[in-house]
Amino acid sequence: MRPEEPRRGADHNVMREVNRSLVLALVKEGGPVSRASIARSTTLAKPTVSAIVDELIADGLVREIGPGSTAVSGGRPPILLEFNARSQLVVGVHIGARRTTVAIGDAAGEEIVRRELATPTGAGDREPAAVLRRVAAEAKDAIAGAGLPGAKIAAVGAVLPGLTDFHAGVCLLAPNLGWRDVPVRDVLAAELDGAPVYVHNAGQAAAVAENLEGAGERAGDLALLYAGTGLSAGVLSDGRVFHGVGGTAGEIGHNAVPGLAEPCNCGKVGCLETVASGPAIVRAARRAVEAGEPTRLAGIDNFDARDVAAAARDGDAVAGRVIAEAGEHLGLAASWLINAYNPALVVVGGGLAAIGDPLLGPLRAAAARHTLAPALRGVEIRASKLGPDAEVRGAVLLALQHSETYYRVVFRA
């Protein structure tokens, strides 16, 4: 069936959108390109291509850049078309426990401007709606400051450190922010001219960013183990986040492990997160200090996970053991991801990834011990390449993915 020949009238609008997607994708990925060459590549009729191109030009997505070289047939040189990346903006927002980052990207994902601010923590400012309004104001100011006032915001990606419900656009629980059931999508949309807002957790955002720009190298089927203050995972299938029906897929940090008795932030007891996260490392090291074990951590007041990691790197045996145990627990989490999803690649992200070999060595060994041999075949476990940039890049790229959904066609060889 030729693409422009619908079988039934009801298919007509869908076929129009598919044809529009095909033409836009060709201009975007194959441009500069002429109308005639689009017609050849798509097998669409020339008048159909011209009508679609006129529509895309009117929408600002495509522009004419003048004549190319003489046509093969020897006639008038054709007018070439290119994608207009500045026609639309995407906004990426990462609200972290301490820092909040706002990035404005163009329709190709290229970052135009980035702003960073301390996540508001003052008494009144800590109210979630006030934080979100402040973030939206920063985004608007950044857009105006970049000389793009009035540019259309195609989509907003909002990334939160906690449990999120993608479908409802709600942050369900973010203990680090003190947030529960916050309607992030509705508050940001109201502040940003009704732009569509997509709410994700940090693991999902880091998965998309690492896949497209970092350690993932466009693996497509990728699992990102996100280990920081909490533990979660972002799972990608063919480059897209797997959300689940309630939008909470990937929250493996709250899988219970028999034998663990520590209470968790989520209200349950014995979650893996209670032994495989930054706070878990600090608790284990503190227990060792209190037991009188010989470690230089005994001389540091209020040490954090970074101090434990630094001591481990310097050969402190107690700190090394604590980091290795956290790594083993993370390896168990990796084995769950590999057994459940059989990804091409597992990327370790979040703040703990920076610890490097003292954590990753035991992690890889434990993952190999706990994973089914056929599921493990060919799977590589790598550290994040983007580091602390992953969340905000993910926010921008997710906004872009969602804004493009309408026009996206997957070409397969």
In the complex, the residues that contact Zn ion under the rule CB under 5 A are: 254, 264, 266, 268, 271
| Nearest-approach distance from CB 227 to Zn ion, in angstroms | 14
CB nearer Zn ion, residue 108 or residue 269 = 269
Shortest spacing between CB 274 and Zn ion, in angstroms: 7
The answer to whether 174 and 158 are in contact (CB under 8 A) is no
Question: Of the two residues 311 and 333, which places its CB atom closer to Zn ion in the complex?
Answer: 333
For residue 302, count CB atoms less than 10 angstroms from its CB and return exposed for 0-12, middle for 13-18, buried for 19 or more. Answer: exposed
Query: CB of 112: closest distance to Zn ion in angstroms?
Result: 39
Helix (H) or strand (E) holding 207: helix 202-213
Q: Which is nearer to Zn ion, 150 or 267 (CB)?
A: 267
When the beta carbons of 191 and 251 are compared against Zn ion, the nearer one is: 251
CB of residue 209 vs Zn ion: minimum separation in angstroms? 25
Kindly tell me which of 173 and 383 has the beta carbon lying closer to Zn ion.
173
Q: How far is the CB of 163 from Zn ion (least distance, A)?
A: 10
**DSSP letter for each residue of 49-80:** HHHHHHHHHHTTSEEEEEE-SPPTTSSSPPEE
Q: Whats the size of the chain, residue-wise?
A: 413
Structure tokens at 133: 């309004």
**Cβ at position 269, least distance to Zn ion in Å:** 8
Contact 349, 210 (CB under 8 A): yes
* Tokens coding 314: 């310097």
Nearer to Zn ion, 104 or 337 (CB): 337
CB nearer to Zn ion: pick between 260 and 289 = 260
Q: How far is the CB of 392 from Zn ion (least distance, A)?
A: 26
Order of strands, edge to edge, in the sheet holding 33-34? 33-34, 79-83, 62-67
Give the number of other Cβ atoms within 10 Å of residue 111's Cβ.
Answer: 14
Nearer to Zn ion, 62 or 225 (CB): 225
Q: Which are the contacts of 209, defined by CB distance < 8 A and separation ≥ 6?
A: 386, 389, 390, 391, 393, 394, 397
Amino acid at 244: G
Omega within 30 of 0 (cis) for the link into 32: yes
List the one residue out of 123, 103, 101, 121 whose CA is nearest residue 113.
Answer: 103
* Cβ at position 319, least distance to Zn ion in Å: 25
Is residue 333 within 8 Å of residue 366, measured between CB atoms? no
Residue pair 164/156 in contact by the 8 Å Cβ criterion: no
